[in-house]
Structure 1
Amino acid sequence: MDYTQESYRVRCEWGEGGVKILAPMCDVIVIVDVLSFSTCVDVALSREAEVYPYAWKDERGRMYAEEIGGVLAEKRGTSHFSLSPFSLQTLPAKTKLVLPSPNGSTLTTIAAEQVDLVITSCLRNAEAVGQMLSTHSGTIGVIPAGERWPDGSLRPALEDWLGAGAVLAALSGDLSPEAEVAANLFESTRSNLEETLLNCSSGRELVDRGFREDVQIAAELNVSRNVPTLREGRYVRVEG
């Protein structure tokens, strides 16, 4: 059965499986991990840092950070800089931030093996990303990353669907039904994004752990013109 949405220039599919299906047939892949990888990337790039996605949070990540002269983002609440957008608001310029994430970083790595142009997007920069991609003539795959259930299987995450929809709503082009529905979902929710994110499953989890500010930062719509673009293994700032 064909899940590639090949009749359409702009496509949307979930998670690792979606990257593996769409990337071989796309010119651009956009990774959307709103809570919190993609939001962290945007905040860090706004501080004129560079972000090195890395799949592992263990000692391998620390060794990699030392190798490149960078700083490893720790778990929320355990370090000054972490996988918390709020913590990155004081990140020094030119920092090489190694950002471990089982979702956003992993999908970035998989996508980079298949396509030349990988971008990450969130609600904060969705319009800038969508407008830039509207000038691109190639095939585009937008990937809401999702989360993981305890057994490791994909848990579709509302915040990522909304983030993908925000990009797609700003992107003119021939949208697949999957992409069009994501855009419509975003449009129906855009006036109530903060409340929606604070009360969805992922948002409530962070609020209960004391990270309400992270959700509020992630819910800010189109406050950034960053188009985080992967170059030589790191996300750098391209202004949209």
Structure 2
Amino acid sequence: MTFSDQSGSAVRFEWGEEAVRSLAPHCDAVVIVDVLSFSTATDVALGRGGVVFPYRWKDESAHRFAARHGALLASRERKAGGYSLSPASLATLPPGSRLVLPSPNGATLSVLAQQAGAQVFTACLRNAPAVAAYIGARYRCMLVVAADERWQGGTLRPAVEDLWGAGAVISELYSGESHGNDRPTCSPEARAATDAFLAVQSRLPDALAACSSGRELIERGSGEDLAWAAAFGVSGAVPLLQGGAYCSASR
């Protein structure tokens, strides 16, 4: 434990892989937030009655992994047709589907968090209230991790949409609706994420379209995914990582 572990706070917030490695072993529950688009795609897939296997690499090993689990493999490219990280592509996923969803960010953090021994969830703007209500009623110490993007050199590029998504979860945890007057203590980092979300809550579609990741999706012809990602609170799915796959947690 160090000065950076946010100890003493029930709700903690940090960024990326190092946060998972350093803080997850000391928390009961870890929530991975990758709004554009692993977490949003997972929410849509579970809403269709599917399960999602997070996978770290977008290479040939993903084909072997999918075959081993009797699962469909999402395409590497959003516009290639079929299922992919595009939430819109999963709108017609057949109920009961098993889907491998490779992602260097959200999926990677999910795998690392599970290895740390915590209960692992993933959340986005669509299901932030549902995830917060579930974990707030069951766990004492919670870590919310904003995924990230990468600069060309491989270093972390904080993605503001993940900050907003994390803040959405934390704001619901702290709202008191699930706790009465027994609100959890939030670290300053967690409070900052909440403030960032509240600043854009009333204009999420415009904010997502204007941020760097949103502009990239629009430029690549996947702007329709932004509407799926910006639909705050429309989903009751609570994706819990069990046996290597995200499935809907039992209420």
**What TM-score does the superposition give when structure 2 sets the normalisation length?**
0.93
Provide the C-alpha distance between the structure 1 equivalents of 2:160 and 2:193, rounded to a whole number of angstroms: 10
Check whether the contact 2:27–2:118 (CA below 8 A) recurs between aligned residues: no
Q: Which aligned pairs between 1:1-240 and structure 2 lie closer than 5 A?
A: 2-74=3-75, 75-172=77-174, 173-238=184-249
Deviations 1:165-218 (A, max 9, x none): 000000031100000111111111100000000010000000011111111110
Provide the C-alpha distance between the structure 2 equivalents of 1:174 and 1:105, rounded to a whole number of angstroms: 28
Give the SS at the match of 1:91.
coil
Which residue type is aligned with residue 6 of structure 1?
S
Provide the C-alpha distance between the structure 2 equivalents of 1:17 and 1:215, rounded to a whole number of angstroms: 28
Give the SS at the match of 2:91.
helix
Which residue type is aligned with residue 158 of structure 1?
V
Give the SS at the match of 1:11.
strand
Q: CA deviation at 1:2?
A: 2.1
Check whether the contact 1:26–1:139 (CA below 8 A) recurs between aligned residues: yes
- Runs (4+) of structure 1 moved beyond 6 Å? none
Provide the C-alpha distance between the structure 2 equivalents of 1:91 and 1:31, rounded to a whole number of angstroms: 23
Provide the C-alpha distance between the structure 2 equivalents of 1:177 and 1:8, rounded to a whole number of angstroms: 9
Provide the C-alpha distance between the structure 2 equivalents of 1:86 and 1:227, rounded to a whole number of angstroms: 19
Check whether the contact 2:24–2:118 (CA below 8 A) recurs between aligned residues: no
Identity of aligned residues (%): 48
Check whether the contact 2:28–2:139 (CA below 8 A) recurs between aligned residues: no
Q: Could you tell which deviates more after superposition, 70-79 or 97-106? A: 70-79
**What TM-score does the superposition give when structure 1 sets the normalisation length?**
0.97
Q: Could you tell which deviates more after superposition, 20-29 or 160-169? A: 20-29
Provide the C-alpha distance between the structure 2 equivalents of 1:115 and 1:179, rounded to a whole number of angstroms: 22
The number of equivalent residue pairs is 240
Give the SS at the match of 2:214.
helix
Q: CA deviation at 1:79?
A: 3.0
Give the SS at the match of 1:21.
helix
Provide the C-alpha distance between the structure 2 equivalents of 1:56 and 1:137, rounded to a whole number of angstroms: 31
Deviations 1:17-67 (A, max 9, x none): 111111111011000000000000000000000000001111110111112
Q: CA deviation at 1:77?
A: 1.1
Q: CA deviation at 1:239?
A: 6.0
Q: CA deviation at 1:114?
A: 1.1
Which residue type is aligned with residue 245 of structure 2?
R
Provide the C-alpha distance between the structure 2 equivalents of 1:137 and 1:56, rounded to a whole number of angstroms: 31
Query: What's the C-alpha RMSD, in Å, of the aligned pairs?
Result: 1.1
Which residue type is aligned with residue 79 of structure 1?
G
Provide the C-alpha distance between the structure 2 equivalents of 1:8 and 1:116, rounded to a whole number of angstroms: 17
Check whether the contact 2:25–2:118 (CA below 8 A) recurs between aligned residues: no
Aligned CA distance change for structure 1 residues 77 and 30 (closer, same or farther; 3 Å): same
* Structure 2, gaps ≥5 residues long: 175-183
Provide the C-alpha distance between the structure 2 equivalents of 1:239 and 1:201, rounded to a whole number of angstroms: 36
Provide the C-alpha distance between the structure 1 equivalents of 2:250 and 2:156, rounded to a whole number of angstroms: 32
